[in-house]
Amino acid sequence: MSTTSSPENDPTPAAAEQPTGVEQPAPFEQPAPFEQVVPPRPPLPTAAPQGPSYGSAFHHQPTQPTVPLGTAPQGGHVSTSAGVAEEPEASGRVGAGKIVAIMVAAALVGGAAGLGGSAAGASLFGVAGSTVVTAAPSTVTVNNTDSVTQTTAIAAKVLPSVVTISATSSSSGGTGSGVVLTSDGYVVTNTHVVTLDGATGSADITVTTSDGKVYKATVVGTDPTYDLAVIKLEDASGLTPIEFADSGALNVGDQTVAVGAPLGLSNTVTTGIVSALNRSIQIASSAAPEGQDEDQQQGEGESPFQFDFGQGQQQSSSNSSISIAVIQTDAAINPGNSGGALVDSDGALIGINVAIASTGGSSSSQSGSIGVGFSIPSNVVKRITDELIDKGEATHGLLGAMVGDAASQEDATVAGAYISEVTQGGAAAEAGLKAGDVVTSFNGLPITDATDLTAQVRALAAGATATVVYQRDGQTASVEVTLGTLTQ
């Protein structure tokens, strides 16, 4: 089958209707069944109105009062002090459960380091005597210290660094999650959370921390190209910044823990593994691009991926699409998890949750986790958030070529990104790439189609250099490319 290439110099091609396979979880509305299980509680006095908490991931739903964070679920118990981890009894041996309990207590005091594998053992056995616990109220519940798990310790460390975000406009509202970057209130989330999926650029934003403190927030900068945004909490201090891990050092099979507010349920923790690395997906942009200066590929139909923010907001089918490189995980990610943390076995950030896959049906219908969730790698998050905080905007690389899927070309012999045209004076042309070349590797990562190439190019900053491996006339060659600047 032949393909129609679109200029790489087109910021973000208008996407065909968003494929039903991948959704950006919408804010969510609260259906009657949920209300019967956990009746809605009164809103926090200072909180802005919150969008509905269950139902259609993308349809606007009636406003649902905010559930105060840190309150005990029906029939459950939420500790009101960090003293949930009992001090081990004097004995010649300390059980594994007690060891992890000590670690939980340490995390509640201020964040325990070394939560995974041998590092956990080394740090825990180094604890002398008792642990003095003086932390503020926590939502980590420990009823039996003998059965505490590593995940409990991870949750205790990470929860203070994850917040719930409520965005409202005159006609709609939604909730998502965010991750604390600095003690004075810089927080990273998704662009689609703060813009209500591109519906507004002036939403009222309220942030609630894991211990129930409520702050107003303003947008510092958004990056629709990689669906990231930074907001700043007003008059905040003493917050707990997340620890960053090197996402480039991950292995398939590594433990993952997702922390956020799925369906508006703050402080929710789910677990899984890294299912795949260097995955690339195409999703709807949360902000319509203004310029025409982006690598572009032919439309491939509806994307199976959707945003996962959770408050009854309709996902727009008219938005253009973006291609992003992601980590795939089977940790449950649902509407409302958008902008939340994906961490490793040490409780360090490896990704910001952004989208989930759906099995079919309309992209405007509510869907939840099917074990296929996606997170933006922490290394990309770090670069972009640093730029947003420093300059209010982020830069992205531009190859300067029109690309399509090589496998769909007539007489195709290899999968990759097929270059149908290069822009005169652009990065590709300057490096010697030509129409007809098939890119099979970018900076050591395999390229199987146009989405892969676009996502990896965008992950780099403007002016970055990259090694491109390509095939021409049956021969393989490589070249160094200095990327141009994407105009947003």
Just list the catalytic residues.
192, 227, 338
Mapped onto helix, strand or coil, the DSSP state of residue 121 is helix
Place of tokens 């559930």: 67
Query: Whose CA is closest to 326, among 283, 277, 368?
Result: 277
Q: Is 389 helix (H, G, I), strand (E, B) or coil?
A: helix
| Residues 6+ away with beta carbon under 8 Å from 387 | 393, 394, 395, 461
The separation between the first and the last C-alpha atoms of the chain, rounded to the nearest angstrom, is 32
Backbone φ, ψ for residue 8 (5° rounding)? -65, -20
Give the list of residues 6+ apart from residue 289 with CB closer than 8 angstroms, or none: 11, 12, 224, 320, 488
Burial label for 141, CB within 10 Å (0-12, 13-18, 19+), is: middle
Longest dimension (CA), the chain: 76
Q: Would you say 195 and 222 are in contact if contact means Cβ atoms under 8 Å apart?
A: yes
Rounded Cα distance, 70 and 239, in Å = 17
Q: What amino acid is encoded at 166 in this protein?
A: S
3-state DSSP assignment of residue 218: strand
